[in-house]
Amino acid sequence: MDHRLSRRGLFVGSAAALLASALGGCDGTPLATPTDAPTMRPPDGTPLAVWELTGGLVGTAMLALRPPRLVVFGDGDAIADAAYRSRLDTDELQSLSSGLLGDLRSSDAQKQRSATPSSTGAPVTKVSTWSPAGVLTFTAEGLDELKTEHVYPDVFYDARDRLATVHKAVSATAQPYLADRVRLVAMPVDGEPATVDAWPVDVTLPAPDAGALRKADLSGDAARAVVRTLTRDLDQRGAWPAYKATTGDVVRASWRYLLPNE
């Protein structure tokens, strides 16, 4: 259980060799050379780049709690899975921005595609990058699952790979991402599991929505109580403990830290 809730994060120097590989290109990813002139940065709190996975064969509660795989901000702050944090230096950030803009502005990325073959249960990959003219985005259902069928242009994989390798570098630092706000999600349980804990008295159980999902974004004392008393599904494997409320309702619940832009 993560019992800490303090300053919003810990910063470390970049994992130089791994980040150099991520930003300079790997597995066929084109080399993105930084320019000498500084590039405009997004406003504070606005991501420079985001890599997300949505949908797939995942329950509603897991989807409600799932964070972006990677968010990179204009100051170099990089957060993976709302769990790990590191910082890109100026050259690394410039290289990443230039590479992603090149990918998403390419003629291949702009081509109209025919209907995409269905890949049942596959997640949707979404990559976004900020530019002074607006955010550039692509979404691709079953990006990995359909790779051998050449449904999507290579630049989609180039962009994803840039962010995926940065994600690996950030995660490898093992520096925790901490925040003063959390998202709490709980889902109903049919029957009563073998192991059930009492719902903590310091935490208010969110009211259910029309689909019986309970969700709340919390800050201050309410967030600290969640961090102190509820188990976190850090690896996003769905192993949520069961709790019984004073009303008799049994739920499985977990939480994560909210990102600066959430």
Which tokens sit at 226? 């969640």
Res 149: pLDDT: 86
Res 30: pLDDT: 39
Structural domains counted in the chain:
2
pTM: 0.82
Contact 162/96 with Cβ under 8 angstroms?
yes
- Whether 20 and 89 map to the same domain: the answer is yes
Res 240: pLDDT: 93
- Whether 35 and 150 map to the same domain: the answer is yes
- Whether 191 and 86 map to the same domain: the answer is no
Is 11 contained in some domain?
A: no
Residue 138 to residue 116: CA distance in whole angstroms: 14
Res 12: pLDDT: 41
CA-closest candidate to residue 172, choices 17, 61, 30, 28: 17
- Whether 71 and 157 map to the same domain: the answer is yes
- Whether 29 and 52 map to the same domain: the answer is yes
User: Of the residues 110, 145, 173, which one is the last residue of a structural domain?
Assistant: 173
Cβ-based neighbours of 38, under 8 Å, separated by 6 or more? 94
- Whether 120 and 200 map to the same domain: the answer is no
- Whether 161 and 32 map to the same domain: the answer is yes
- Is the C-alpha dihedral spanning 162, 94, 44, 18 positive or negative? positive
- Whether 72 and 125 map to the same domain: the answer is yes
Is 8 contained in some domain?
A: no
Is 4 contained in some domain?
A: no
Amino acid letter, 142: G
Q: What domain range is 220 assigned to?
A: 181-257
Res 218: pLDDT: 98
How many residues does this entry show for the chain?
Answer: 262
| Residue 197: C-alpha distances to residues 171, 231, 240, 255 (Å) | 31, 11, 12, 16
Res 10: pLDDT: 35
Is 187 contained in some domain?
A: yes
Res 9: pLDDT: 38
**Residue-level pLDDT, tens digit, the chain, 262 residues:** 444 444 333 334 444 444 544 454 444 443 333 443 445 789 888 999 999 998 766 688 999 999 999 999 999 999 999 999 999 999 999 999 999 999 999 887 776 565 566 666 788 999 999 999 999 999 999 999 888 888 899 999 999 999 999 999 999 988 999 999 999 999 999 878 889 999 999 999 999 999 999 999 999 999 999 999 999 998 888 889 999 999 999 999 999 999 999 9
Contact 129/136 with Cβ under 8 angstroms?
yes
Res 239: pLDDT: 84
Torsion from C-alpha of 61, 63, 67, 71, nearest 10 degrees: -160
Which tokens sit at 79? 């957060």
- Whether 74 and 144 map to the same domain: the answer is yes
User: Of the residues 122, 138, 173, which one is the last residue of a structural domain?
Assistant: 173
User: Of the residues 138, 173, 208, which one is the last residue of a structural domain?
Assistant: 173
Res 32: pLDDT: 38
What residue has token string 């909210």? 258
- Whether 163 and 141 map to the same domain: the answer is yes
Residue 247 to residue 245: CA distance in whole angstroms: 5
Is 24 contained in some domain?
A: yes
- Whether 157 and 203 map to the same domain: the answer is no
Is 262 contained in some domain?
A: no
Contact 147/154 with Cβ under 8 angstroms?
no
Res 112: pLDDT: 58
Res 122: pLDDT: 83
Helix (H) or strand (E) holding 97: helix 90-105
- Whether 210 and 102 map to the same domain: the answer is no
Print burial letters for 19-50: b (CB count within 10 Å at least 16), e (below 16).
bbbbbbbeeebeebebeeeebebbeeeebbbb
Is 143 contained in some domain?
A: yes
Which tokens sit at 166? 């940065």
